[in-house]
Amino acid sequence: MIRVYTDGSCLGNPGPGGWAWAIPGGASASGGEAHTTNQRMEIQAVLEALKVIEDSEIEIISDSTYVVKCFQDRWWAGWQRRGWKNSQGKPVANRELWEPLFELALDERRSITWTWVKGHSGDQWNDVVDQMAQAAAAQARR
């Protein structure tokens, strides 16, 4: 199983933001946007990782309850059943990022485990992707 750490960062919310992913001892990537939100960058980090990682067994490790709970608690199934409305009947935020992420993450040829890790708690690789995402956000601010 490939373990992938992901994180998103935003300098102001909204503001310049960054995303990052890393495989311990392996590949990594990061990027940023001039005007975005932290939630969008958290989703973008996982989306970007799954675009390039082709392994069939993956563990996504994130400090984003928004992303992890979407998959662990199957929020996505309710959103789709309700025509992209959340449990309060409002349009699902960030749908344009969720849709391509679902296409990759829910592919039957993949088995993805979603693991939440507390941010800023001393987890080495969570700290690495946090620093990468913050650097990408700082670069996007320029």
Q: Considering 25, 63, 78, 119, which one is annotated as catalytic? A: 63
Q: Considering 25, 89, 108, 120, which one is annotated as catalytic? A: 120
Q: Considering 8, 18, 31, 32, which one is annotated as catalytic? A: 8
**For the residues of 38-54, what is the DSSP string, one character each?**
HHHHHHHHHHHHHHH--
Q: Cα–Cα distance between 125 and 141 in angstroms, integer?
A: 24
7 included as an active-site residue: yes
Whether 139 and 14 have beta carbons less than 8 Å apart is answered as: no
Q: Is 54 exposed, middle or buried (0-12, 13-18, 19+ CB in 10 A)?
A: exposed
Please give the helix or strand (H or E) that residue 68 lies within, else none.
helix 65-72
Q: What is the DSSP letter of 92?
A: P
Q: Considering 17, 31, 33, 42, which one is annotated as catalytic? A: 42
119 included as an active-site residue: no
42 included as an active-site residue: yes
120 included as an active-site residue: yes
For the annotated catalytic residues, the residue numbers are 7-8, 42, 63, 120, 130
